[in-house]
Structure 1
Amino acid sequence: MEYVENVMNLAQETIGVNLVMLKDLRITTSGNKHIDEFIQQSQLNAVHYSKYLEWILFEKFQNVTYIADGGFGRIYSAEWLEGNIDHWDIENQSWYRYRFNKYALKSLNNSSDICSDFLNEIKSHLQIYFDNIVSCFGITQDPNNKEYMMVLYYCDGNLRNYLNKSKIYINYKSKIDKLQQIARGLLDIHNAEKVHKDVHSGNILFYRAIPFISDLGMCKPENLKKSVKEEGIYGVLPYMAPEVLGEYQYTKAADIYSFGIIMIPFNDIPHDKFLAIKICKGLRPTISKDVPKLLADLIIKCWDAEIKNRPTTKELYQILTTWNNETKDIKDSEYSEYI
């Protein structure tokens, strides 16, 4: 009975939400037909509040601060006093909003002339469930340079920053917990029949020690071998699977390989064409002797040159979940005895 009531409530919320937001669209539009239609479709098709996009006037942001240039655009931080949509309040028939301290604004190069790449990245955010994936709340436009921007969940830094800031030793229990959460995000991407294609430590962001996968700009269905050859290959060399380097073959298994490199990265080695050749010939990072054997075996499986020998994302997530659950009360000094 409770389940039926929950379903009915969800249906009522969805109907109410769509009607209200369609009314709002007549007031707050971007002035661009393609973007307005894109946002409207996201609202009509949304199955969860986190997938409800809105057009956000740039003047609603304060303290917009440049952070860095990415591979395809620029990242800024900003304050949004109104805050993002959190859920639909049935009793008051209005949105309940939640305000984070900061939001991230991400522009794509030359996005003033709205392009399919910009909308495709946002579409990937909508098609992938929200666990451990950076959320996209809407679209805005800088009136000065006319660049369109995605309004995203703000994180404190990436995996490299997290490790550098962690002054104390990060034990294996904590590492497994973080890896499990990253695997959960990757599983969401693969369940949406997408391949991330650019998994590396710089794209694993952290907020309050919780990891999120970011940069979905290259997410596409796998086995687009012909188009990939025409477009070339993209990514961070040490994290690229040998089949990507040799045959331009992006698959879910290539993401698994990259995940394995996140667990044990290359250290102190030039990132040049010779590294690419060595990877194709079987070079992998060195695993230290203090890594628990079962974890080392899992990493080696992720690195396997044969795609069929690598674990699936579901298998990877299940293994890490099992380890995480079974070792919660184990002392770190005893950890290697359990995995």
Structure 2
Amino acid sequence: MKKTILGLCVLIFPFSVSANTFQNIVVNGITFNNVVYDINDDDYKIHVAISDSETNIDDLAKQQNAITGINGIFFCPKDYTVCNGKSSTINERIVNGVDYSFYPDSGERGIFGWDKDGVPLLHQTNRINADSRADIFEGMGNFPILFANGISQLEHYHDVGLYDNKMKSAMKRHYICSNKDKTQITFGSTSAASLNDLTPALYELGCWDAINLDAGNSSQFLYNGRRLEYSGRNILDGFVVERVGLNVSNEEMKIDKIMKILAPAFKKASLSNANIRIDAVLGAIKTARSKIYEENSIDTYDNNGNNIGYTIDIKSLKTHTRVYLLNRLERELQIFQKDLNS
């Protein structure tokens, strides 16, 4: 594994990255799992994926031929009494230049997105880049705004009486941000943190414009087709990353063919033997994935020589396709094993 020194208070990555780079890092005692998207990398595309009915990050990603993604903005789940049994959102959603927003005014929410050229931008009606809404090609709005032009917005929410106990409490956070040069978009999740603790750490990582994303029971995070987080509640939207040249539908068909071979063989065995065989295959998948990640990883150290995390950066399309296939096959085997034992 290679080694790099990460100088904080600089860009999120001071070294070359692809647009699906994964970062696990501890800053100010908070553990971050991030995906960094480089807008100048033609091998990847970032999308806003939306649905009118409840779904999950896996299906939202497939909708856009994507392999990586995170859940998006706050919505009203149908299991809430006030929702009258229907999932919906009033937050802003803009896809391919079409504005699906409920209101023309974003209120205290901020819209994070990008223009037709993929350059990230942050907008809030009458307050932050007020004339930029028409420039948003894709984006979503959520509350609160964490940073605007490198300045924390928490004091503003204090002033207007919207800084509540959820913001003060230590809990899992999801966010999306861009760096000062507007060359990178980063989204990710954290260990438990209050917003007061989160914002200085995000600044250390180079976030310049940032909004909070939905988390809690809606937390879903997908990397290379593998669920890193899945809290169980379905969602309505997300930010997803496509690997150009990797045809997700083709890989899913390959997985279907593999499962049609494996499933009958497992079913013929006794339950205990079937579980032993499935576990063996799952173990082989884990070993193969670990080898790929090891070969494409860099240990990260701070300026004092302390190991603070690692980065996974896969540049080869062939390798990316292989790891996606492994991850999706693992998921199908896990579902099959669960059904077999139920």
Which of the pair is proportionally richer in strand?
A: 2
Structure with more relative contact order (C-alpha pairs < 8 Å, separation 6 or more): 2
Q: Shared fold by TM > 0.5?
A: no
Which of the pair is proportionally richer in helix?
A: 1
Q: What TM-score do the two structures reach when normalised by structure 2?
A: 0.28
Higher-Rg member (1/2): 1
